[in-house]
């Protein structure tokens, strides 16, 4: 199942970046098809532990049969609470491979893809209340324009928001194909449609809010010498991770001591490494991946 569920990006580079200790406690906050988790497990001996989070119950199809492994069906924004629940006060490493998996695009009924007619859903957690249809039909034109610009980097986000708001006065937009028609983006502009769907997905799942909360919890849980490895796929989340790992805070503010030395909890190990050409050929999604790794001082 894991083979078709997802192909992990930059697998060898990510595992090398984690510098895994065989008896360490590790967290993979984005289990998905389990490719990265399985590779971590291969490095763990009997005393090691791995907690794998996923907010999508479908990921459990890829469960790992091993006593050292624990699946946490939750949003990773609750990392701290779950570690408290398991009595874990410190971790040796954490991996986040952000966004959605191939599985999400391969399930037309989940509404992540503009290519398939389906209900306009896009929830990674199927029990969450807000769907993409809720966002599209209830946000003001300004709010839609803002998320299209911010999360989709759509040059014509304002025009698309206007077209959607006009269309929804005639009929509620409930399906992917209705959104495509309402947006007035021509079918051949598939990149623009992908941006529109990406922007909505990020908003529906509050991806940046969850990332912010998880980063702070990870910083506080990591042991000195512990590693955090993050794979990002678009510029906004990458900027957030880059600034956080440089400064140790969400504001990205670099603090200095009396002598002007930079005070940050992290030493940078990988600063936005990209996939090799050979990997991109095999797995085109890896094209936009950026790997950032830092070590807690």
Q: Where are the beta strands (DSSP E) in 156-212?
A: none
Determine the residue with CB nearest ligand SAM: 32
Closer residue to ligand SAM in complex, CB, 176/283:
283
Q: What are phi and psi of 153, to 5 degrees?
A: 50, 45
* 58 vs 124: CA distance, rounded Å: 10
CB of 6 to ligand SAM, least distance (A): 4
Q: Whose CA is closest to 222, among 188, 275, 267?
A: 267
Closer residue to ligand SAM in complex, CB, 33/226:
33
* 5 vs 26: CA distance, rounded Å: 22
* 50 vs 6: CA distance, rounded Å: 20
CB of 181 to ligand SAM, least distance (A): 28
CB of 178 to ligand SAM, least distance (A): 25
| Token code pair at residue 35 | 């490719």
Q: Which residue has the tokens 């990205």?
A: 252
| Token code pair at residue 88 | 């874990």
| Token code pair at residue 176 | 């992917």
Closer residue to ligand SAM in complex, CB, 14/183:
14
Closer residue to ligand SAM in complex, CB, 16/163:
16
CB of 77 to ligand SAM, least distance (A): 6
* 258 vs 260: CA distance, rounded Å: 6
CB of 180 to ligand SAM, least distance (A): 24
Closer residue to ligand SAM in complex, CB, 111/157:
111
CB of 50 to ligand SAM, least distance (A): 13
* 34 vs 59: CA distance, rounded Å: 8
The residues binding ligand SAM (CB under 6 A) are 6, 8, 30, 32-36, 53-56, 59, 75-77, 97, 99-101, 124, 210
Closer residue to ligand SAM in complex, CB, 107/181:
107
């Amino acid at each position: 199942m894991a083979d078709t569920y997802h192909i992990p990006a930059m697998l060898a580079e990510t595992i090398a970046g984690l510098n895994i200790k065989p008896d360490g406690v590790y967290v993979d906050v984005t289990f998905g098809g389990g490719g990265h988790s399985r590779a971590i497990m291969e490095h763990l001996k009997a005393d090691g532990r791995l907690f794998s989070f996923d907010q999508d119950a479908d990921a459990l199809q890829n469960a790992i049969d091993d006593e050292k492994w624990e699946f946490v069906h939750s949003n990773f924004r609750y990392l701290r609470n779950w570690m408290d629940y398991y009595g874990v006060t410190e971790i040796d490493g954490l991996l986040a491979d952000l966004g959605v998996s191939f599985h999400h695009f391969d399930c037309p009924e989940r509404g992540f893809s503009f290519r398939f007619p389906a209900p306009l859903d896009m929830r990674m957690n199927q029990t969450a209340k807000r769907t993409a249809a809720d966002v599209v039909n209830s946000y003001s034109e300004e709010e839609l324009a803002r998320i299209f610009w911010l999360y989709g980097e759509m040059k014509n986000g304002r025009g698309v928001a206007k077209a959607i708001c006009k269309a929804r006065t005639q009929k509620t937009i409930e399906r992917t194909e209705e959104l495509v028609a309402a947006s007035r983006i021509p079918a051949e502009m598939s990149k623009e449609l992908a941006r529109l769907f990406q922007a909505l997905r990020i908003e529906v799942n509050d991806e940046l809010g969850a990332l912010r909360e998880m980063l702070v919890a990870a910083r506080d849980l990591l042991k000195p010498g512990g590693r955090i490895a993050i794979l990002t796929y678009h510029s906004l989340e990458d900027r957030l991770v880059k600034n956080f790992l440089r400064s140790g805070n969400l504001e990205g503010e670099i603090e200095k001591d009396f002598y002007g030395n930079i005070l940050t909890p992290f030493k940078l190990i990988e600063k936005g490494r990209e996939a090799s050409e050979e990997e991109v050929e095999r797995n085109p999604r890896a094209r936009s991946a950026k790997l950032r790794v830092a070590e807690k001082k």
